[in-house]
Structure 1
Amino acid sequence: MAGSIYGRLFQISTWGESHGKGIGVVIDGCPAGLSLSEEDIQVYLDRRKPGQSQFTTGRKESDMAQIWSGVFEGRTTGTPISILVQNQDQRSRDYGNIMNTYRPGHADYTFDEKYGFRDYRGGGRSSGRETTARVAAGAVAAKILKELGIEIHAYTKAIGPVSVPENEYHPEEIFQNPIYMPSNAYAQKASAYLEECIKNQDSSGGIIECVVTGMPVGIGDTVFEKLDANLAKAMLSIGAVKGFEIGDGFKVADTKGSINNDSFHTKDGRITKDTNHAGGVLGGMSDGSKIIFRAAVKPTPSISQPQSTVTKDGENTEMIIKGRHDPVIVPRAVVVVESMAAITILDLLFTNMSARMDKLKNFYGTEK
């Protein structure tokens, strides 16, 4: 299988299946000298792991990170970093009824058609559990970015019809509710909506918003390697994400240039913008303001209602999906969005180091 490697200079390769022995990632391109421990990674994994509330799967996984290489005496060595997370609570018997039946909304049919064989235990490689490895790598990328003054914060903007208005954001409340909303009041409304979904054996989608601060100007390239294009690819590589927008996003289709353009001015010797409709990216490059983007997450496809489908032999049938599933993917996907953004931005920062001769000479001490 191709397609499990992401990035150019800061490169990650994830491996493992939902019901295999474990999930892991190999990180290549991490600079030597970064202070790194398993605890640094665990903070991120704890935000993604199952069993956190009534709105997540009942699967019990400690998701303990184990660093197997690339770190010595608490610092990275510059060699590949290998991180393992062992699976502990697999119940493959829950998936016996789908061995020869395709689940609606999943990759069962397409995977079978492509490879002629699939791991039906929880989706195998197509399972959302693969994102565990991305989060482990994202923790490393985020730590490097923080030392460079760049921070990334994602949160739940909407669950189903319940959306937090921007003028009612309370960032300090994000970690005070189980769905990571920047408003406890709206989190209560969203929770009530989710409880109704659970009662009806149904699921919900939502929107994750992400904000990047501290970005220098000029990160990203103008044609095929645009910053926003790379962020879009990163977000859409997350299995449940079906939409991406940056800045005003789709709202730009219903506005005018006189409104949508972000006017410039100089303040305290720096060029800044009066507004940020562009979401922090102009011409594919960061413009120094906050990068703001959103990812639309589909409802969990595994629901307990009877659904029409077909067998591997093409026979029409009906199925009820068994097992332990999240009624909403959004809360656990918040840190996945944050991690993929960190990996993408760090990789582009490394690439940017070769953009100008004067900076290259200065780096190697040959500037005269």
Structure 2
Amino acid sequence: MSSFGTHFRVTTFGESHCRSVGAIVDGCPPGLDLNESLIQAQLRRRRPGQSALTTPRDEKDQVAIQSGVERGVTLGTPICMLVQNMDQRPHDYKDETLDLYPRPSHADYTYLRKYGVKASSGGGRSSARETIGRVAGAAIAEQYLKLAYGIECVAFVSSVGPVKLPKNATEAKTQARMAAALQAPRLENSPPQSEEEEEEEEKTRAYLQRHHSDKSAAADDGLQYPTSSAYRGLLAAVSREQVDASPVRCPDEATAARMTSVIEECRDAHDSIGGTVTCVLRNVPPGLGEPAFDKLEATLAHAMLSIPATKGFEFGSGFDGAAMRGSQHNDKFVPHPNGLGPTGSALRTETNWSGGIQGGISNGEDIYFTVAFKPAATISQEQETAQYDGSSGVLVTRGRHDPCVLPRAVPIVESMAVLAVMDALMGQLSREGATSSLRSRELDARHTEAWDALPSSMRLR
């Protein structure tokens, strides 16, 4: 369906080239300070035409609040937000060949098989234009989380194609070894290559030499663990201002320059490239998430994999953690150095390989994860493919598209993370309110007596 969340629900509407897109937010607490400029700030980070690395489609994405807010304060009723599509060009998709061909890696074929009809222009609901409603709804949730709990959410581009912001010593060394291997001569007993093979190898060698060097092996503390202390320090301190300082939205200047070079090369070749976005949530209170099917990391995975073009989700130590022993991977609890942390806990963990969630429930540590995005499916190259009737042919697509979706995906990842946390928080507040009401009534003296009889390790005052 087109809704996300139970307690704080966002429903999005609109297609890529229709008259407007937007969202309806249900469950927003009343009395929250809110105006269109707060929403506009995040939409501005998501909009197309930001730089030479993104699609040239010129949309201002100006939001207009239609309901649920009066005199800058939320009423507690549904909030409707509308964004007009000003630079729509459905004629870019009027080529008769698009009526014959399902575009490779697009949703044309699957939408047609599911609904029996599909949008005639662009990707319809599968287009990233749909995410405007998500970002607008999340801007409201973020305002609440910031004011009520001081929760922060920052995402950044952590890899583009072969270029990575190394998160541990192993990744740094891998990139250095790759650079060294590229400079090694071919073995004398290697079989002879054709001219085409030699040309292709030289292209590959030149490509990787441009985007890998010993300089890419970032300073590391040498720990052979999923994330080094230096990388964890980055997660703890990186800001949106640092991220937005680069058009590619990577907070490391040297890595960002190499990423930019990769994207520019793909753009000039009328091709596309994928990569990853890493996100961190700070000051999330412990206790959010459910212990079985709605674990907080499961909700985050659901949220992230609902974003167009996503291909993978890695949480906390991720797949690297699967190679560790329990004695290495276990998060040891230690006293908080300040007595109490920002979430009110006297404990914190030494390593946080758990990514801030244990047993499906937040533990008060930073929550972090990484999302993989595929290369944009629309490329301005001839592609041999099949028509709807099964006959073969060659498809050439037109239109304005991102050579890399990652820079614009950053605020979308942040938005879906915020929505997942907001919904979990409101669910927990509902539970705590119900428990508090039960214990406050004199009729429930027996309940209070039973509660007080529990060992201290089984209850939290």
TM-score range, shorter chain: over 0.9
Cα gap change, 1:102 to 1:264, in 2 (>3 Å): same
Cα separation, 2, equivalents of 1:335 and 1:35: 21
Equivalent of residue 397 in structure 2, options 321, 333, 343:
321
Judge conservation of contact 1:207–1:295 (CA < 8 Å) in 2.
yes
Cα separation, 1, equivalents of 2:102 and 2:10: 31
Equivalent of residue 248 in structure 1, options 302, 317, 334:
317
Aligned residue type for 1:302: T
Equivalent of residue 233 in structure 1, options 302, 305, 312:
302
SS of the counterpart of 2:58? coil
Aligned residue type for 2:405: I
Equivalent of residue 39 in structure 2, options 41, 51, 54:
41
Cα separation, 1, equivalents of 2:138 and 2:440: 29
Cα gap change, 1:32 to 1:47, in 2 (>3 Å): same
Deviation at 1:365, TM superposition (A): 8.7
TM-score normalised by the chain length of structure 1: 0.95
SS of the counterpart of 1:209? strand
Cα separation, 1, equivalents of 2:296 and 2:163: 30
Deviation at 1:100, TM superposition (A): 2.8
Cα separation, 1, equivalents of 2:255 and 2:137: 31
Q: Deviations over 1:282-318 (max 9, x none)?
A: 0000011000111001110101121122222222111
Equivalent residue for 1:152? 153
Aligned residue type for 1:348: A
SS of the counterpart of 1:154? strand
Say which one has the larger Rg: 2
Equivalent residue for 2:406? 330
Cα separation, 2, equivalents of 1:320 and 1:364: 69
Aligned residue type for 2:107: A
Aligned residue type for 2:15: E
Cα gap change, 1:157 to 1:364, in 2 (>3 Å): farther
Unaligned runs of 5+ in 2: 168-229, 341-345, 446-461
Cα gap change, 1:121 to 1:357, in 2 (>3 Å): closer
| Higher strand proportion (structure 1 or 2) | 1
Equivalent residue for 1:285? 361
Cα separation, 1, equivalents of 2:307 and 2:299: 13
Q: Deviations over 1:331-350 (max 9, x none)?
A: 10100000011111100101
Aligned residues between the structures: 366
SS of the counterpart of 2:322? helix
Residue 130 of structure 1 pairs with residue 141 of structure 2? no
Q: CA RMSD in A?
A: 1.8
Equivalent of residue 74 in structure 2, options 65, 69, 76:
76
Equivalent of residue 421 in structure 2, options 323, 345, 351:
345
Unaligned runs of 5+ in 1: none
Cα gap change, 1:7 to 1:315, in 2 (>3 Å): same
TM-score normalised by the chain length of structure 2: 0.77
Deviation at 1:358, TM superposition (A): 7.6
Q: Deviations over 1:103-159 (max 9, x none)?
A: 101111110111111003111111110001110001111111101211111111111
Q: Within 5 Å, which residues of 2 pair with 1:139-288?
A: 139-147=139-147, 148-166=149-167, 167=230, 169=234, 171=239, 173-267=242-336, 268=339, 270-288=346-364
SS of the counterpart of 1:242? strand
SS of the counterpart of 1:40? helix
Equivalent residue for 1:296? 372
